[in-house]
Homo-oligomer: A and B are copies of this chain.
Amino acid sequence: MTGTGLGIGEVARRTGLSIDALRFYEREGLLVGPVDRDAGGRRRYRPLDVEWLGICVRLRESGMPLADLRRFAGLVRQGPGNEAERLRLLDAHRRRVDEQIRALEECRSLIAWKTAVYADHLARGEATGLWDPTA
Contact = CB atoms under 8 A, between A and B. Distances in A.
Interface of A: 32-33, 48, 52, 55, 58-59, 61-62, 76-77, 79-80, 83-84, 86-87, 90-91, 93-94, 97-98, 100-101, 103-108, 110-112, 114-115, 118-119, 121-122, 126, 130-134
How many copies of the polypeptide does the oligomer hold? 2
The main secondary structure of chain A at its interface with chain B is: helix
Contacts of A91: 115
A133 B101 contact: no
Closest 6 CB pairs of A and B: A62-B107, A87-B118, A33-B133, A32-B133, A79-B134, A76-B131
Contact of A62 (B61, B111, B131): B111
